[in-house]
Amino acid sequence: MSLSVAEPVAGQRDLKSLFEKAAGDGTEIFRDRALGELTTLRAGGAADWFAEPNSLEGLAALVKACREHELPVTVLGLGSNFLVLDTGVRGLTVRLGNEPFVAIETDGERIRCGAGAKMKKVAAEARSSCLAGMEFLEGIPGSIGGGLRMNAGAMGSEMVEIVESLSFMDAAGEVFEMAASDIEFSYRSCPLLKNQIALGAVLRGRPDSAEAIAERMTAFSQKRWTSQPKARSAGCIFKNPETIPAGKLIDELGLKGTSEGGAMVSEEHGNFIVNKGGATAADFLTLIDRIQRCAMDERDIDLKTEVQVIGGASNHE
């Protein structure tokens, strides 16, 4: 997710001290931070500037500083649904991996969680609190913020079904909270968060026994590991078209096992592209293009990417 502020200023000077002073909470700023290692694909270039804010106030100050200096802000999350371009990411990239962004608190039938909280941990907390409805989060390797941004889903469920409210920050560093009923959600998208930073959410479950919840989580896990690859991937690469699941389409097109450099269409699931070793972002993009062209030529289907391509102008939408 990137905040739409402006293009980077030309000939930018070293902003490390400026950013660290603005944050005022001990946040350390890194220049030319390699981002590929922070993603599940293990590919891509570096961020001009990188930070993991230590406070909400620190994040707001960094966002305001970037706005003042006409620098874009990109939120990485846990990197499970990202493809970083080999040319890297301009401006400031932030990851909400510190307190208070990873907090998870239960209050009755509600769980309040920060955007940096792992969905897997939220599912575990719900199970411990005997709250059903969040079992599907256990198998999604990402953060709550990413889940909200993408309206993440699995096993027939999606985020919109359990979100009661969410908080976010705009490009001016201002914080807002809205009821989910007032926010538009669609298939793998929450347009509100395209240019805002998700800060957290209140999720609502329903009472059930821990045993029943655990049984469903185990069944989901077994189904996932028998149908999805264990190799490095970014999850599903394409959104499902209306007429056919993307994985089934790619299988029928005979593209499983197709490779480009170190990137390969998974043999286990056609909608996964894995890094079989040494893949570059260019390898993934070339393979994605090949699949999209084949789907259009053979079936007249316009495959849209679910994976988020970050780091510059891209036609992969």
For 94-109, the pLDDT digits (tens) are 999 999 999 999 999 9
Architecture of domain 229-310 in CATH?
Answer: Alpha-Beta Complex (3.90)
pLDDT of residue 6: 40
Query: What is the C-alpha separation between 212 and 230, in angstroms, rounded?
Result: 27
- Residue numbers of the chain with a pLDDT score lower than 50: 4-11, 313-317
3-state secondary structure the chain: CEECCCCCCCCCCCCHHHHHHHHCCCCCEEEEEECHHHCCCCCCCEEEEEECCCCHHHHHHHHHHHHHCCCCEEECCCCCCEEECCCCEEEEEECCCCCCCCCEEEECCEEEEECCCEHHHHHHHHHHCCEECCHHHHHCCCEHHHHHHHCCEECCEEHHHCEEEEEEECCCCCEEEEEHHHCCCECCECHHHHCCEEEEEEEECEECCHHHHHHHHHHHHHHHHHHCCCCCECCCCECCCCCCCHHHHHHHCCCCCCEECCEEECCCCCCCEEECCCCCHHHHHHHHHHHHHHHHHHHCCCCCECCEEECCCCCCC
CATH class of 2-94: alpha beta
Domain map (residue ranges) of the chain: 2-94, 104-213, 229-310
pLDDT tens track for 144-173 = 999 999 999 999 999 999 999 999 999 999
Q: Are 101 and 177 in contact (CB under 8 A)?
A: no
pLDDT of residue 131: 98
| Residue range 104-213, CATH number | 3.30.465.10
- Pairing between β-strand 163-169 and β-strand 197-204 as defined by DSSP bridges: antiparallel
pLDDT of residue 228: 83
pLDDT tens track for 59-85 = 999 999 999 999 999 999 899 899 999
pTM of the model: 0.89
